[in-house]
Amino acid sequence: MTELVSNRIEASATKLGLPHLAKTLHELARRADTAAMGNLDFLDLILQEELAVKDERRYRAGLRLSKLPHHKTLDDDDFAYQPDLDPRKVRDLSTLVFVQAKANVALLGPPGVGKTHIAVALAVAACRAGFTVYFTTLDDLVRQLKAADAIGWLTRKLRTYLRPHVLVIDGVGYQPLERPEANLVFQVISKRYEKGSTLLTSNKGFGEWGQVFGDEVLATAILDRLLHHCGVVPINGPSYRLKNRLTAIENVA
């Protein structure tokens, strides 16, 4: 490849919005020569490299916009500490069929058993697959919607929670809500019904949601829409945080 041709390709790649090709042209050409690639194979290599870079850039941008508290993924060690948790259920969820079906997921169990970790890991996988994700605690969702409603921006703020393919609502049940607050949650759940996936974590069983939302009728209406298409994963076991705390104490001792 002559310098004139390489310069022209790099300039054209830059104009076409292919920065990776412009930067790596000579390296790609070297790889093609080493592998004795034909013209079509070389073109395929260039396009695959560019797509991989664009996908990674999109993935990183999606993570930034998701507001996820961390970006941990799942591995087999995550299930070993919770013998009552069926790892097949989580692995089935990690295929993201529920996102494609616009179905919901509820992770239920006491504090510290890994509900948020699994929810975040599923959200990261969804983001990697090209779905949009947004994470919020229930308390923050209610606070944000109340503030927006007070200044007449409720409809606009609701779009934050209605737009993503996957909405993660963490910490349902830690603080009871007043009925107007519960109604805001109902609006989110009902408007997302069969239009997007909602992934919830809760330390309360569904039978206790009437106390959480301050109204049995409203809680039933929320559950009716949430559970119509929903995978429920109960996690009953020891606390990871307590385990780590006890390990730290033992190491000091």
Cross-strand partners of 198: 167
What band does 246 get if pLDDT is binned at 50, 70 and 90?
A: very low
CATH number of 77-243: 3.40.50.300
Residues contacting 231, CB < 8 A, separation 6+: 89, 92, 93, 98, 103, 104, 105, 106
Tens-digit pLDDT profile for residues 128-178: 999 999 999 999 999 999 999 999 999 999 999 999 999 999 999 999 999
Q: How far apart are the first and last CA of the chain?
A: 67
pLDDT digits (tens, 9 = 90+) for 14-62: 777 777 777 787 888 888 888 888 888 888 888 888 888 888 999 999 9
Q: What percent of the chain has pLDDT over 70?
A: 90
Q: Which of 19-33, 40-54, 95-109, 238-252 has the lowest mean pLDDT?
A: 238-252
Q: List the domain boundaries for the chain.
A: 3-65, 77-243
Question: Which residues does 201 contact at the CB level (< 8 Å), separation at least 6?
Answer: 106, 107, 108, 115, 116, 119, 168, 169, 170, 171, 172
103, 197 in Cβ contact below 8 A? yes
**Quick one: pLDDT at residue 176?**
92
